[in-house]
Structure 1
Amino acid sequence: MFGKIHEIYSSISGEGISQGIPTVFVRFAGCSLRCGKTENRALWCDTPYALGPYQGESLSISSILKSIETYDKDHGFQILLTGGEPLEGKNRDMSVAIAQSIFQFRNANGKPYPASRVETNGSEKITLDPFFVFTMDYKLPGSGMEERMDAENFEILEKRHNSLDEIKFVVRDRIDFERSIEVIREQKIQTNILYSPVHGEVDAKELVEWIKIDNPPKCRLSLQIHKVLWGNQKGV
């Protein structure tokens, strides 16, 4: 089995409930969404260099696992599958194979973080598999991609009932925030909720004020600490 991998590197988790944890990132190539690219607004994707399905290197599962081990010899880092989109097309099979292998080894050997975290865009169906934990985006109107969201994912998250799962709302403006509140109420979301501002389009302090007023359950502001530390560099 081979997959298109754009990069593998170690750093700390930059956002969400796992922020600050030493992490090995496996970035898949290829994503069919183009978030933020509307008639009068620009693409906002953090990793536009990984959007194309042919921008990565074709790697086997054994070579990916060996590469992960070069960064994490003691098997103590969180493993994060990201993209691109790790659940899109053939990437899904590779993500499953990687996560299963890591889960089995770590459970058998008493290692931390047995379940690999998957950052997924909300358009691909998530799973009940215990070898995954999910950071799932829900794309709001400002992204231009809301119609691509798979609403069944909310039911799957509820069935998973995993305290490490999280839903991320990237907010472009007040309309986006109000829509997020509608979605939370409509879906009766009890999973961890992250709010992130679109850089340069909404002030994080203003977003905090909105959060304070509505105070959705289990929500938190999530800023990208890796950008604070290193700016927009790749591989950090």
Structure 2
Amino acid sequence: MFGKIHEIYDSISGEGISQGIPTQFIRFAGCSLRCGKVGDKKLWCDTPYALGPEQGEHKSLEEILAQLLQNDPHHQKQIIITGGEPLEGKNGLLTRSLSDHIYRFRIQEQFPYPASRIETNGKEEIDEKPSRVFTMDYKLPGSGMESEMHIENFEILKKRHNSLDEIKFVIRDRIDFQRSLEILHEKKPDTNILFSPVHEDLDAKELVEWLKVANPPKSRLSLQIHKFLWGNKKGV
């Protein structure tokens, strides 16, 4: 079983409830969404270098596990599987097999962080298995991609009832923020809710003021600390 891998590297988790935790990242190549390119506005993807499947190398499950072991021989770090889009097409098959394998091994050996965190774009269907936790992006109007969202994922998240799952809203403007509140009212998710401003489009302080007034349940501001530390670089 093979997937297209752009990079595997060590860093810290840059956002969400796992922010600051030493982490091994597995970045898949290829994503069918193009977020933010609406009208005369620009693409806002954090990882445009991994959007195309040709921007990755074929790697097998065994090759990925070997590199993870080389990077972290004591199996102590959190694992985040990201992209691109790790659940799309053949990448999704490998992501599920990989996270299942890591989970079984770490549970058996009593290592920390047995469930890999999967950062997914909201288009692909998630599942109820405990071998993974999800950070699920929900694309708002400012992305131009809301029609691509797999809306049934909200019900799957309720069935999972995993305290580590997250729903992420990336906010470009007030319209996006109001739409996120509508979604929360309609779907009533019982999980962690992240609000992130579009870099260079929305001042984070303005988003804070909106959050202070609306105060959605289980919500928090999520800023990407890796950008503060290293700028908009890859592999960090």
Q: TM-score under structure 2 normalisation?
A: 0.99
Partner of 1:195, secondary structure, is strand
Q: How far apart are the structure 1 equivalents of 2:85 and 2:9?
A: 17
Counterparts of 1:1-236 in structure 2, within 5 Å, are 1-236=1-236
Write the letter of the residue equivalent to 1:146: E
Q: How far apart are the structure 2 equivalents of 1:77 and 1:124?
A: 26
Query: Residue deviations 1:86-113, cap 9 Å, x none?
Result: 0000011100111011101100000000
Query: Residue deviations 1:48-94, cap 9 Å, x none?
Result: 01000111011111010010111111101011100000000001110
Residue 202 of structure 1 and its aligned partner are, at CA, apart by 0.8
Q: How far apart are the structure 2 equivalents of 1:148 and 1:211?
A: 26
Write the letter of the residue equivalent to 1:217: P
Q: How far apart are the structure 1 equivalents of 2:54 and 2:153?
A: 28
Partner of 1:17, secondary structure, is helix
Query: Residue deviations 1:27-61, cap 9 Å, x none?
Result: 00000000001121000000001000111011111
Q: How far apart are the structure 1 equivalents of 2:4 and 2:218?
A: 35
Query: Residue deviations 1:168-198, cap 9 Å, x none?
Result: 0000000000000000000012210000000
Partner of 2:68, secondary structure, is helix
Q: How far apart are the structure 1 equivalents of 2:96 and 2:201?
A: 36
Write the letter of the residue equivalent to 2:128: L
Structure 2: which 5+ runs fail to align?
none
Q: How far apart are the structure 2 equivalents of 1:3 and 1:175?
A: 37
Q: How far apart are the structure 2 equivalents of 1:10 and 1:172?
A: 30
Partner of 1:9, secondary structure, is strand
Residue 148 of structure 1 and its aligned partner are, at CA, apart by 0.3
Q: How far apart are the structure 2 equivalents of 1:135 and 1:188?
A: 17
Q: Percent identity?
A: 68
Write the letter of the residue equivalent to 1:196: S
Q: TM-score under structure 1 normalisation?
A: 0.99
Write the letter of the residue equivalent to 2:4: K
Q: How far apart are the structure 2 equivalents of 1:153 and 1:183?
A: 13
Q: How far apart are the structure 1 equivalents of 2:89 and 2:36?
A: 22
Instruction: Give the number of equivalent residue pairs.
Output: 236
